[in-house]
Amino acid sequence: GDSVTQMEGPVTLSEEAFLTINCTYTATGYPSLFWYVQYPGEGLQLLLKATKADDKGSNKGFEATYRKETTSFHLEKGSVQVSDSAVYFCALSSPDMGRRALTFGSGTRLQVQP
């Protein structure tokens, strides 16, 4: 079945450092890929998405490129801020699932220190 694997956290960075959170996936067909962010005490919010190979999703300084050849969708940001501290989830929506729901990775907690 479909699955998403993320790097384990927590990831601790200093403010203005470069961020990479790795995400790889297994799916049949051509899934859509997403990054969701969960701030403390809140629900998940869509951060960015990519629906086909080589698409780049971007939002709030975060970027991720859909790499079909490596089945990856790594999240990057050039300069993190304390306000970026949250849990980040990589997810996919597979057409072979009839688009029923999202398959999530286990989440990566990011802690940014001033």
Partner 1 sequence: NAGVTQTPKFQVLKTGQSMTLQCAQDMNHNSMYWYRQDPGMGLRLIYYSASEGTTDKGEVPNGYNVSRLNKREFSLRLESAAPSQTSVYFCASSDPPGTYEQYFGPGTRLTVT
Distances (CA, A) of 15 to 4, 83, 95: 28, 10, 39
Number of residues that bind partner 1 (CB under 8 A): 24
In terms of CB distance, is 9 or 65 closer to partner 1? 9
Question: Does residue 69 belong to the site contacting partner 1 (CB under 8 A)?
Answer: no
Q: Are strands 3-6 and 23-26 parallel, antiparallel or unpaired?
A: antiparallel
Residues numbered 91-110 forming contacts with partner 1, rule: CB under 8 A: 93, 97-102, 104-107
Which stretch, 16-24, 34-42, 56-64, 72-80, contacts partner 1 (CB under 8 A)?
34-42
| 89 sits near partner 1 (criterion: CB under 8 A) | yes
Residue 56 within binding range of partner 1, rule CB under 8 A: no
Whether the bond into 10 is cis, omega within 30 of 0: yes
Cβ neighbours of 79 (radius 10 Å): 11
C-alpha span between 23 and 73 (Å, rounded): 5
